[in-house]
Amino acid sequence: MRSSQPKVLHALAGRSMLGHVMAAVTASAIDNVAVVIGPGHEAVAADAARHVPHARIFTQAERRGTAHAVLQASAALGQASGPVIVLFADTPLVTAGTITRLIDAVNAGAGVVALGFHADDPTGYGRLLTVDGALTAIREHKDATEAERATTLCNAGLMALSGAHALALLEAIGNVNAQGEYYLTDAVEMARSRGLRCAVIEAPEAEVMGINDRMQLARGESLMQERLREAAMQGGATLVDPASVHFSFDTVLGRDVMVEPHVVFGRGVSIADGAVIHAFSHIEGAAIGTNASVGPFARLRPGTTMDAGARIGNFVEIKNAVLGEGAKVNHLTYIGDADVGAHANVGAGTITCNYDGYFKHRTTIGAGAFVGSNSSLVAPVSIGAGAYVGSGSVVTRDVADGSLALSRAQQVEKPGWAARFQAAMKARKAVAKH
């Protein structure tokens, strides 16, 4: 990856590759989870614990092959009573459905089950060799005959083993090969030598793609986005231009939500039924209510809540604020650390001055209040219900319910001043040229 960050912590749709795999494990109702990491990768262990707090962490001090890596979790393997599923954190698109099929195949009597896929271009992949549907061997491309290379059924790497035999099979694997490593694929040979049946289940090639560089990461992101867009539309949301909308793994869209082109959803967004998200908006950590309207060109930052029918317009930024039912903040405005009451109207160019250089302070705008354009509300401050703030005001003290607050210099008019000023400036400029 050419990165200071461990590969499996690189993210797809706002969640690490490791996190995606562990989410699939959790969705498969697997509760005994072991994670094998490399030495010095405490960040990977911490990420695993965030997703599955009870996961047991094991360290592979030396890189001696995939079977050797799995054996580092021998303490967990020895306690396995059901199927053992071996997954790879750099294969983040694997689904819970596929993991369940691996489990089912072991429960149906297989000692080893390999996950395979038909590759458009199988060059370089290990081949899964079968006879009458039974898996007979996994052959590396370089070791395969021409006839074996002709098959497109390739090894995805993921594997399931019978819990009753897993530890013995793995311990029987040797390292007599050019690399001197212990390969998980040799479990098939070990199982067959013990009279155990070996099987294959298949998955789409896209689901089992491994990610090893930035190009593959981008491809994985694209595939993940396709899944999320499809799920959103199947759930009843309309995406006007699906390919231009970017989701996070946890984005929740209700029925009849309309999402216009070029919208980005960061983590932690939920949108209730009937809301409209207009084009070029960026939303993160926000809850948007029924029939609310956002954008275009709006930015909602974490902590934003919009109640039913609230409206946020173009070039508005909201952060850590609650907008009551039917409240309107239509354009060119910043609302941060604030509570805006139901049906309040905040005019263009208004800002809540929430930060004094050391601490954040809160602004409260009451129900039905009207804040005129180009106003500055210096927190902590409260605008009462039904109150008015005159345009251009700087409000530093609380405003009572139903009151009018004005804070601006008195307008002064000097007749003829503009003509005299222009004449003087033109004369000065003429002198300057000579």
Q: Which residues are catalytic?
A: 331
Of 53, 56, 183, 156, give the one whose Cα is nearest residue 99. 156
Of 229, 226, 246, give the one whose Cα is nearest residue 237. 229
DSSP state of 355: B
Phi, psi of 405 (to 5 degrees): -110, 130
For residues 370 and 387, give the distance between their C-alpha atoms in angstroms, rounded to a whole number: 6
| Contact call for residues 395 and 407 (beta carbons, < 8 A) | yes
The DSSP annotation for 252-267 comes to EE-TT-EE-SS-EE-S
Give burial (CB, 10 Å; 0-12/13-18/19+) of 141: middle
Q: Please state, as a whole number, how many other Cβ atoms lie within 10 Å of the Cβ of residue 73.
A: 22
| C-alpha dihedral sign at 302, 308, 312, 313 | positive
Contacts of 371 (CB under 8 A, 6+ apart): 344, 345, 346, 347, 350, 365, 377, 383, 389
- CA 86 to centroid of chain Cα atoms: 24
For residues 21 and 12, give the distance between their C-alpha atoms in angstroms, rounded to a whole number: 11
The DSSP annotation for 409-427 comes to PPP---TTHHHHHHHHHHH
